[in-house]
Amino acid sequence: MKPVFIEGIGIISTRGRGLNKFEQALKEGWVEPTVSADGRKAYRVPKDALIDYNILKKVKRSDRFSRLTVFAACDAIHNSGLDIADLDKSSIGIIVATAFGPHATIFKVLEDIIDYGEKKVSPTTFAHSIHNAAASYVASALGCTGPVMTTTQFYFSFQQALLLASSWLNEGRLKKVLVGIVDECSPAMEYICEEKLSVAQNGKMSPLSCLKQPKFVPGEGSAFFLVSHDSKKKKYGAFTEIEITGDSHGWSDVDLSIIGTNAMGGSEEVYKDVLNEGIPVAAYSSIYGGFMTGNAFECVAAALMLKNQTQYASANVDGAESWNVVEKSKKRELNQIQCISHNNKRQLAFIKMMK
């Protein structure tokens, strides 16, 4: 795969909006999740993270899902040093990856149909229940006229989006691609998680323990990468390999492996097949919660570590197997990092990044 260089990153997590807040979260480690009025734990994005009048006036009817998307996408552009007004708008593609799409809005439409009848459903709300609405808002807010796509592949949506971005750049049809993820919590989602999955009542996920029946805490957020083939514009390293497979053992030439938690992928024992004592391993999902596209957050963490040449301590090492677990933050030479996630069929997805 031809390296896909990262020019800018935007991220919104439970710690708020911005790369600095995410980096601070990596340094601080685990904190208690938020608790809803009905007592459910989740790592939710704070309300004030989605207040910015300059952006909101461009997306004034948008729902929360679209705002999570647009804010992170705009931040990725700003983070690259580009001004939105100066963008070559026909040469930027947009790819939004999501596992569940705007499900909170979808539920709202369905509830309104049940409560009031289909004639009394808000047409605007219905329009937002479409998966591609968020990506369209990004295009509209930025004024981009290039291709716009939403990818949904449940467990590996982000990996598919990255592969597509790489293809678009390889074809030469675009100079840059804004590729990212978004997924949100909602009362319905949290209810389902509580009833059907195993939520960690102490608020701590422990992916490093590779449990057969892992416990998790739902999370949400959005992250975008502005990427290109232009090495001169590189700010945070590059994506160099992406592999989705049932039999791969990943790469042995990396300096660090980061494993993720997607909550619905079942047993995390599958990680035992690919982790070895030689390569340090870390996990950060207990900082921002478990969600299907959370692997993009691990990639943001990897990008920051490659840039800063610093490895951050795993957020929770309770019950960790005897891997070479990263327990302390420290300066270290890091040339390549792989981010690993899994699905419920014991397939693994690997994203390799380089300095």
Partner 1 sequence: MNNSYKNDLTEIRQKVKQLLVSNLGQLEMLDPAEIKDDVALFGEGLGLDSLDALEIVVLLQKHFNIEIKDMNEGREVFATVDSLSRFIQMNASKDEN
Nearer to partner 1, 111 or 277 (CB): 111
Please report whether residue 27 would count as binding partner 1 according to CB under 8 A. no
Nearer to partner 1, 120 or 232 (CB): 120
Please report whether residue 53 would count as binding partner 1 according to CB under 8 A. yes
Query: Residue 287 has which token pair?
Result: 């900082």
Q: What residues have CB less than 8 Å from 39, skipping those under 6 apart?
A: none
Question: Site residues for partner 1, window 58-77 (CB under 8 A)?
Answer: 60-62
Nearer to partner 1, 47 or 232 (CB): 47
Distances (CA, A) of 130 to 23, 65, 70, 84, 194: 32, 11, 15, 26, 26
CB 70 within 8 A of CB 49: no
Write down the least CB distance from residue 55 to partner 1, Å: 13
Q: How far apart are CA 86 and CA 76, in angstroms?
A: 14
Nearer to partner 1, 60 or 196 (CB): 60
Nearer to partner 1, 37 or 232 (CB): 37
User: Could you tell me which residues are beta bridge partners of residue 199?
Assistant: 216
Question: Site residues for partner 1, window 296-335 (CB under 8 A)?
Answer: none
Task: Give the interface segment with partner 1, choosing from 37-45, 79-87, 121-129, 335-343 (CB under 8 A).
Answer: 121-129
# binding residues, partner 1 (CB under 8 A):
13
Q: What residues have CB less than 8 Å from 90, skipping those under 6 apart?
A: 144, 145, 146
Task: Give the interface segment with partner 1, choosing from 52-60, 90-98, 173-181, 299-307 (CB under 8 A).
Answer: 52-60
Please report whether residue 124 would count as binding partner 1 according to CB under 8 A. yes
Pick one of 26, 74, 82, 121: the residue that binds partner 1 (CB under 8 A): 121
32-68 burial: b if 16+ Cβ within 10 Å, else e: ebbeeeeebbbbbbeeebbeeeebeebbeebbbbbbb
Instruction: Provide the terminal-to-terminal Cα distance of the chain, rounded to the nearest Å.
Output: 16
- 3-class secondary-structure state, position 253: coil
Write down the least CB distance from residue 17 to partner 1, Å: 17
Binding region for partner 1 (CB under 8 A) = 53, 56, 60-62, 112, 116, 119-124
